[in-house]
Structure 1
Amino acid sequence: MEEADVSPRENPSESPNGSSKILRGSFLMMVSYLFFRVGGYLYRFILSRMLGPEGYGLVGLTTPFQGIFQVLSAGGFPPAISKFVAQHNAVDEKDMARQVILTSLKFMMVAGTLFGILIFFSADWIANFYFQKPAMVYPLQAVALITPFSVIVGALRGAFQGVYKMELVVASRAVEQVFMIGMAVTFVSIGFYAAGAVLGTAFGFIASAIVSIILLKKYVWVLFPKPVNKISFKDELVLLKTLLVFSIPVAITALSEMAIYDVGPLVIGRYLPAQDAGYYTTADPIARLPLIISLSVAAVILPAASEAASLKDKVLLENYITQSYRYVVLLVLPLCVGIAIFAQPLLSLLFGSNYIFGAPALSILVVGMTFYTLFMVSSSIIQGMGHPRLPMIILIIGTVLNIILNFLMVPMYGIIGAAVATTIVAFSIMVVILWKTCHITEVKLPYLDFAKIGFASAIMGLSIYFIPKMDLELFGTVIDLGLLAAIIIAPIIYTIIFALIGGFTKRDIRVVRRYSKKFGPLSGAVEKVVKFIDRFVK
């Protein structure tokens, strides 16, 4: 089916609504999340050195509360906006698509303000009673400034995704990152300590909210002209109820998702010194690096699956799902193998030698994130199919299990116990949701592709594992030349092995060639690689 030259309807990968939409949207979302991750790493790289393990540990213990109150304020509406805007737009209901955005914004702005007030007044109790760390009061109070603006950003990004304007998401994230880093460094430099880092995040969301509103007016409202007849208050309440029915399970799911990897820091902060939280907080974002790929695909597959389900196109749906899984595993698995092998050099390079004590936790935690990437894609597929409660139920069970395991293992094994607990839970929920996704969609997983990817990743891992360590100190930072060599060699080995075992398809060749001209000066090199791969494609 993949290689035959058929009509766009028969081969969804070649149609404007087929795999090209998934790939283009996923690529742009990947750029967006890359901005977010690269900016986040730069933020952590600078602040970890400015604050030290203890001060950075305080920021790390504040981050889960920032995420919790952002999710509570947003109420699960961004995915709901994405789904219903795509759904109404697919059947040419422009007025309803516009109203979904407006109604959601009203609700989210009120919720964001209320939860901002709540975190401000509860900060003292959280810092002094639970963590017994008075220095956390001001960073927690600074979170109150984030929530009202973060919900605006979340709502508008949901609207951008719903109309497949992923480039607007990239723009809003770029603005957020630039202001967040600049203001955080400024506030910490003038003596605001850990609270300054959180205030920098707040100013990043404020700037992003302003830019997102401008982008909405210029690029989205033109698609949904203002209706002649204004919707009644009663009808708007009905719409709000519909959105809440979908979004509340999504919000609970999001909270549970956060709990999968944020329970660890919260339990560590309870039993261990702040510097241990600093070690774990530096390991955690590196372990989440593969999520750039899964998040980008998940953001696109939700409205795409919703659209395919609305059109009752099983061929299109199957193509969306199998290709989403395949591309995620193709990129994520070798990346996770590399991170696990070079955990210590990565921590030393990014955060300094003071943080290498987090390396064992990183090597374990990145394995859990490998499992979690597949869970995220499956969760978005099921949500797009109209089953938001299923991921919620699975995650709630996983969260309870994670809390129990962390409280049992952290006091005994420290940060390694937190990493092991998270990995066990990630594997468990992945297995369950993959089984349910196949049952609901009646789509079989590409097991053969997974096996080939696993084999190529294993050979790559064995090859780079024996690269000798060659430390070089440059400007006070220890750089492992073996890590730099692995970054160059690993993709070459992986690509060659995967090509030799017939892992690539004609569709892969067509996709790469379609976008090869956008690589600029590297286009020639990309074409040579494609020609090499094409020799082994049947």
Structure 2
Amino acid sequence: MNQGWVSYLPAFLRKKVEGRQELQKVLTNTGWLFGDRLLRMGVGLFVGIWIARYLGPTQYGLLSYASSMCAVFSAIAILGLDAIVVREVVREPEREQEILGTVMTLRLAASLAAYLLTVGATFYLRPDDRLSQVLVAVMGWTLIFGSFDTIDLWFQSKVQSKYVVYAKNSAFIISSAVRGGLVLAKAPLVAFAAANSLEFGLAAVGLCCMYRHNGQFISRWRVRLQLAWKLLSDSWPLLLSGIVFMVYLRIDQIMLGQMSTSHELGVYASAVKIAEIWFFIPTAIVSSVFPNIIRARETDEKEFYGRLQKLYNLLAFLGYVIAIPTTFLAGIVVSLFYGEAYSSAAPMLVLLIWSDVFANLAVARNAFLMAMNWTRVLLVMTFLGALANIALNYLLVPKYGGVGAAAASVISYWVAGHGACYLYKPLRRTAGMMTRAFVYPRFW
């Protein structure tokens, strides 16, 4: 494969990648994912800030509450199958039609169940809040449209994420224009929830088109009951981990919305939005190197651990690059982006931005657990993080509001991503590698 971009690299980097076709392929794939996220970070941040300013903290808090409810139940729709599907298609490409067809069927059924659970939970938690119920019912369609991300997994297995970028960015740009039009038209809150579902629907159509463009046909997919049971037997720990993960990722906003005011939640959500902008970095990198990590384990254990250490070092370094300047500039950033109505989000952002460092390493650690097929261990790690988050939110939110929720999130991220590794002997080597990355992070 000819990668013309290599000639534009500095000499010391060019020497490292010249002649290494697999590395070039990974870097190209990572570049596409980074481009996707950079576009979303730029356009999405601008449009998101515009919407937050228009709605104000209270209405923005209601929209964030609905989004968090859908996010918690999205793990059910995904079924914990993402990494398993990529792994199986890499290992057995001749069976990809059966794998994709079976997974798509499972996800459609699971997404419908997730939708009903999300709406039901909202009616239970907020029986008298008609607006929140409608927002969740409208935004919940993202769960059903998300089942088409099965096609995304096929592109991941081929390290061809540019086609996913084409599909999802087109949907994102169209939906962003719609959101901007809604602000100009002074549309009601429900319209913004519908715009979110529109993006996922358009992305599903785009993925189908890109799949067909690559000479593939969904009509050739086949459903195999035996394969379905096998995939579910492999994925149930990841399903539970995904549920628990989404709980500890979003329970802060749900608990804050239940225990405080929508205004406080809106302010907190603005800080979360800034902190989470950077989550694409570890996801993009790990998505690109995951297939090679699997191959390295099968051929050379020393190389396998060497690649993991480099991955930890890089992600810790990038986490510090983001967290340190944001700590000192949080007040300016919040005021510049969201205005004085959200000024109290600054101390929340200072705390939340440090969760990015732990989140970065957790993504890489999870890739290691997947390569080792230690899915049950991942479940335990995530459960401990979620338990810590719920307990800390229960203790801190009533007294400190959004600041307490932010502190709870940082601590729980550390527990799930790093601290809990010391409790399980086979993971202490991994814990040591992550500690070295904390102490001596490196770019290369």
Common fold: TM-score over 0.5:
yes
Contact 2:384-2:415 at 8 Å conserved across structures = no
Q: CA deviation at 1:336?
A: 1.0
Unaligned runs of 5+ in 1: 1-7, 89-93, 454-502, 509-538
Query: 131, 135, 138: which is aligned to 2:134?
Result: 138
Shift of 1:217: 2.0
Q: Distance in 2 between matches of 1:273 and 1:450?
A: 37
Return the letter of the residue paired with 2:291: P
Per-residue deviation, residues 86-118 of structure 1 (Å, max 9, x unmatched): 222xxxxx3212321121112112222343344
1:200 to 181, 195, 202: 195
Change (3 A) 1:293 1:375: same
Which residue is 1:249 aligned to?
Answer: 237
Write the mapping of 1:340-379 to structure 2, written as runs, cut at 5 A: 340-379=327-366
Amino acid at match of 1:177: F
Match of 2:60 among 56, 62, 65: 56
Q: Which amino acid aligns with 2:253?
A: P
Decide which moves more: 191-200 or 98-107. Answer: 191-200
Match of 2:254 in 1: 266
Amino acid at match of 1:280: Y
Identical-residue share of aligned pairs (%) = 17
1:381 is displaced (CA, Å) by 2.0
Partner of 2:3: none
Show the counterpart of 1:212. 207
Aligned residue in 2 for 1:80: 84
Superposition deviation, residue 188 in structure 1? 5.4
Give the letter aligned to residue 94 of structure 2.
D
1:34 partnered with 2:38 = yes
The aligned residue for residue 286 of structure 1 is: 274
Retained in 2: the 8 A contact 1:160–1:220? no
**Compared CA separation, residues 249 and 14, structure 1 to 2 (3 A):** farther
Paired amino acid for 1:344: G
Cα distance in 2, alignment partners of residues 176 and 126 from structure 1: 32
1:77-476 correspondence runs (5 A): 77-88=81-92, 94-120=93-119, 123-128=122-127, 133-152=129-148, 154-187=149-182, 190=185, 192-219=187-214, 221=216, 236-309=224-297, 311-432=298-419, 439=426, 445=433, 450-453=438-441
Instruction: Tell me how far apart the structure 1 counterparts of residues 426 and 337 of structure 2 sit (CA, whole Å).
Output: 43
Q: Is the 8 A contact 1:39 1:177 kept in 2?
A: no
Distance in structure 2 (CA, Å) of the matches to 1:13 and 1:301: 18
- The alpha-carbon distance between structure 1 residues 261 and 195, as it changes in their structure 2 partners (threshold 3 A), is same
Q: Which deviates the most, 106-115 or 378-387?
A: 106-115
For 1:365 and 1:273, the matched residues in 2 are separated by 20
Pair 1:25-2:29 in alignment: yes
For the pair shown, which has the larger CA radius of gyration, 1 or 2? 1
**Could you tell me how far 1:177 is from its partner in structure 2?**
1.6
Give the count of matched residue pairs: 430
- Alignment correspondent of 1:518: none
CA–CA separation in structure 2 for the residues paired with 1:225 and 1:123: 37
* 122 and 289 in structure 1: CA distance in 2 versus 1, 3 angstrom threshold: closer
**What is the CA-CA distance between 1:22 and the residue it aligns to?**
4.3
2:439 and 2:47 map into 1 onto residues whose CA distance is 37
RMSD across aligned C-alpha pairs, in angstroms? Answer: 3.0
* 1:265 shift after superposition: 1.0
Instruction: Report deviation, 1:425.
Output: 1.4
- In the TM superposition, what whole-angstrom CA distance separates every residue of 1:274-301 from its partner, at most 9, and x where no partner exists? 1100110000021123322111123234
String of CA shifts for 1:45-72, please: whole Å, max 9, x gaps.
Answer: 1210121111111111111112123221
The TM-score, its normalising length taken from structure 1, stands at 0.73
TM-score (norm 2): 0.87
Contact kept? 2:309, 2:437, Cα under 8 Å = no
CA change 1:71–1:397 in 2 (3 A) is same
**Which structure 2 residue ranges, 5 or more long, are not aligned?**
1-14
Give the distance between the partners of 1:241 and 1:209, measured in 2 at CA: 26
In structure 2, what is the Cα distance between the partners aligned to 1:446 and 1:61? Answer: 34
Is 1:45 matched with 2:41?
no
Aligned partners of 1:196, 1:438: CA distance in 2, in Å? 51
Distance in 1 (CA, whole Å) between partners of 2:153 and 2:293 is 15
Tell whether the 8 Å contact from 1:70 to 1:151 is kept in structure 2 after alignment: no
Distance change >3 Å, CA 408–CA 122, structure 1 → 2 = closer
CA contact (8 A) 1:183 1:199 kept: no
- Tell me which moved more, 69-78 or 276-285: 69-78
Does the residue aligned with 2:391 lie in a helix, a strand or coil? helix
